[in-house]
Chains A and B, each alone.
Chain A
């Protein structure tokens, strides 16, 4: 653990140094709530997908991060993954949120695993594989996590293209039994 705490600007600078052109964008957001308006700090980084491991390693060098979750978004052309990390936990009002964003084009839905650095990322990576249909390289366990075993292959619930949930898969509870009910009422009349 590093004793000297970096400012958010210095954290971004460190990423700049180790990633070079791989760091495509960065912004720092500060939000405050309550009477004293204590600030919470968020760092948002956009990086090239080939640099994900270097970026996570860089984060580990600052402080072993807490990975909250990996979230994702189907943007049409590609799938955006967001790794929500937190560093400097355990320091009163000192925690930074570091979100690493990277885009996977739909023609090349492959990303390196980070489970060798952060074993706890496994749940999240398995979830991304089944819900977005992407492939995590060298993942130690690639079984399904949340989807049932009889869920059809090639359907990815969080995709917004033709591989997403199809209309006929959605069970509309408010329509269940409506036709039968109407028939029964017509018969009783």
Chain B
């Protein structure tokens, strides 16, 4: 705001005095600016750097005349993902009226809640979870501190991988239909990682499995 200074008008012919200016500077505008900048930086800064979750996909089988067989894995569970829903079955897939005479595969349903897939996985993969917990409890305080700082303990890691690949550990196949979103997929992988599952294989959905999903809806 501009003010016009009316100099000398009210001096009644007295002595001319040098104006005494205060040594103090008005800091209000500076404070205003400082807080404005402060608010700006507080609001724009993002502290949580994005993280990454690694996932190893199975290698593609090239130039195979016959379509690849369904992998035969012991102690496996197959998750079929569709929009916000998870279906699963255990072991191998058997169609109705298969030559081996096994009962046809029936899908079970679960959800993303803590009482759904997480509880199921914790029960099914109890072997690995228990062993890793035991391994953790044996760690000394120094080792824990080092690991928290990002130091790698190769012996510990090797043992964990051994447990995860053991025949009693649960192996998981993940299949998605055309309605599943990326969030569903990543959430499920996340649940698998929480449940310490080492063998995760995202594979293609079979046509017969898609039929089963459709029949469920």
A binds B: no
Binding site for A on B (CB under 8 A): none
Binding site for B on A (CB under 8 A): none
